[in-house]
Amino acid sequence: MGKTKGSFTDLLRLPPGPVDLAAIATDGTPGFDGDKDDGNDALADLAEPLSDLQERLFAERTTGSTRRVLLVLQGMDTAGKGGVIRSAVALVDPQGVRITSFKAPTEEELAHDFLWRIAKAVPEPGYLGVFDRSHYEDVLIGRVRELADADEIERRYGAINDFEADLVADGVLVIKCMLHISAEEQKERLLARLDDEEKHWKFNPGDIDERELWPAYQEAYRIAVERTNTDHAPWYVVPSDRKWYRNMAIAHLLLEAFESMDLGWPKADFDVAGQRARLVEEDPIP
């Protein structure tokens, strides 16, 4: 971790106000002065402190605390939402993690408000929840593909902000990451999927249909992050052309979020000496 400089939370935080995504480099490595191997080493070094804090959070739920963490991952196809889970989220005990992958909504989900299925997937107290796609799809593909009318899309930005404010009030620390890649990098990743038989299952011709709408998606992202970049649930734009940087940076964001929670260990709510004596002196087992 000697090669990291400063707080990733500060460096990657999208400043409030007008957003220009094209002005944010997709291949940068803010806060890190090193190459791929250094980055992977730095990621591995995060396993221990991150696991320790995650276990404290998991322990804290036994005290009635409602605190928890929600990592929201958004990005164009191939941006690496799955890769972040496989490499960064996987650093902590899977027992304390709740991952939800949001697909195209079902008929039942469509019959409800767009936040209905999201609210059901909010992690319970003590857990690290991860959303692979999220309610933001409803203002991204929802806007680009006109899956709802303009008034409804407009309404959703405010509804999202209110919803996330309620989460925060309920003890949820919300970390929203946009995995920012270039169109060129996406093309290379799609080609890589086509050129490797072991990756064909990850490819869908519809991915190219969506790619054809790249500018419309970038505009939808711009509006979405600008409108929902609140103090209580800010956006982080993570340069993601370099997979190793993306993974390490998000692991750092997680670590810094956990550190900000000032997590201790729950105090015993029983008589420790008494229980010890009972186990040692009265143990009925030979």
**Shortest reach from residue 201's CB to a second copy, in Å:** 4
Site string for a second copy, 170-189 (x = CB under 8 A): -------------xx--x--
Interface size with a second copy, residues (CB under 8 A): 48
- In the range 219-258, which residues lie near a second copy by CB under 8 A? none
CB-CB contact of 264 with 53 (8 Å): no
Contact call for residue 85 and a second copy (CB under 8 A): yes
Q: Does 203 bind a second copy (CB under 8 A)?
A: yes
Nearer CB in complex with a second copy: 197/231: 197
Q: Which stretch binds a second copy (CB under 8 A): 34-42, 96-104, 143-151, 231-239?
A: 96-104
Strands 128-132 and 235-239, how do they pair?
Answer: unpaired
Starting at the edge strand found earlier in the chain, the sheet holding 128-132 runs 97-101, 128-132, 68-75, 172-180, 235-239
Note every long-range contact of 34-42, with CB atoms under 8 Å and residues 24 or more positions apart, other chains counting: 34/3, 36/242, 36/244, 38/3, 39/242, 39/244, 39/245, 39/247, 39/248, 40/244, 40/248, 42/1, 42/3, 42/4, 42/248
Q: Applying CB under 8 A, does 151 fall inside the site for a second copy?
A: no
Is residue 149 at the binding interface for a second copy, with CB under 8 A as the rule? no
The span of 78-86, 144-152, 165-173, 253-261 binding a second copy (CB under 8 A) equals 78-86
Contacting residue, 201, 231, 262, 281, with a second copy by CB under 8 A: 201
Contacts of 238 (CB under 8 A, 6+ apart): 12, 177, 178, 179, 180, 246, 249, 250, 253
Task: Tell me the torsion sign for CA atoms 194, 197, 200, 202.
Answer: negative
First to last CA, the chain: 50
Residue 104 engages a second copy in binding (rule: CB under 8 A): no
Binding site for a second copy (CB under 8 A): 59, 62, 82, 85-86, 89-90, 93-95, 97, 99, 101, 132, 183-184, 187, 190-191, 194-195, 197-198, 200-205, 208, 211-212, 214, 265-268, 270, 272, 275-276, 278-280, 283-286
